[in-house]
Amino acid sequence: MFSRSALNAHDLGLPLAVTLALAFATKRMTYENLLVRVLGSCETMANASVICTDKTGTLTQNSMTVVAGSVGIHAKFVRLLGENAERTNADETEKSGSGNNVSRKHHKDFSIDQSQLNTVLSPALRDLFNEAIAINSTAFQDKDPETGEVIFVGSKTETALLQFAKELEWRDFKETRDAADIIQMIPFSSERKSMGVVIKLPKGGYRAYFKGASEILAKKSTSHVVVNQDGQYPNGIVTQRIDELAQENIDRTIIFYANQTLRTIAVCYRDFPSWPPPGMRRDNEGDVRSSLFVPIFFS
């Protein structure tokens, strides 16, 4: 039997012991980059078997990485292709009504490791791709206050794209951005679901770069760049009209990536002989009204 004093001591000690145990668990979790705001959640999570989360957020390290993509409609690149072959749909098959496998592969589609992407892109197309990433971005480089390492700072999508270009050893983003004659920045809009920038080309004319929701920009585009597996281009950049087969390829690829819980981003461009183009008006600050870009901007 316990005396009354012993029971009181036991009652007081148990809550303290539990609190200390939870606090210790919380401290251990911070070393794993997991921030716990409520001590009791440690005990709750110990009994969890399934966690449901919004895929549009970034978890654990709060960073994003380009892991797969398509240049044009045929070149399907994947980070570490040998280990992640399931992330390419170049050889995609589906079950027919009779249960047989039916190939959905376009005869020009091919898979390539992301690190080898330069071997199939012409220098002109690489520069175009790099400009679309570097100029149409507000991210920048700075030192990590904890590690001292130089990192990209800004939107997680933009920093992932800049890191992608850096890994492929494309021209430094700051040099590319500083060399561009920027005419107008077009901020992200929930109406367009995209952002853009207009630059003046050295040899005359203007070019607009846009990036945003792939399903929106793809529907507004009328052409795609052509990438061959041999990487040979007599004229630098070759484009082709998006026909019904190409549109099906684009839609299928977007759905394929989305089904892997990947965030799909489209990068587009269009050249103009003059700015503003016919039919567009300037606002009081001299910029073309961005609301007019929605129906006619992409090609």
Neighbouring CB atoms inside 10 A of 60's CB total 8
Question: Maximum Cα–Cα distance for the chain, whole Å?
Answer: 96
User: Can you tell me the distance from the alpha carbon of 277 to that of 183, in angstroms, rounded to the nearest whole number?
Assistant: 13
Q: Cα-Cα-Cα-Cα dihedral of 188, 257, 81, 106, to 10°? A: -110
Is residue 206 within 8 Å of 220, Cβ to Cβ? no
- Residue closest to 267 by CA, chosen among 231, 201, 216: 216
Token look-up 């503003």 returns 276
C-alpha distances (whole Å) from 195 to each of 90, 105, 158, 266, 289 are: 29, 32, 11, 11, 13
Q: Which residues are catalytic?
A: 54
Q: Are 42 and 22 a contacting pair, CB within 8 Å?
A: yes
Strands (E), the chain: 68-71, 75-78, 93-95, 101-103, 110-113, 140-143, 150-153, 181-189, 194-200, 206-213, 223-225, 239-241, 265-272
For tokens 């129906």, name the residue. 295
Q: For residue 6, what are its two tokens?
A: 């012993």
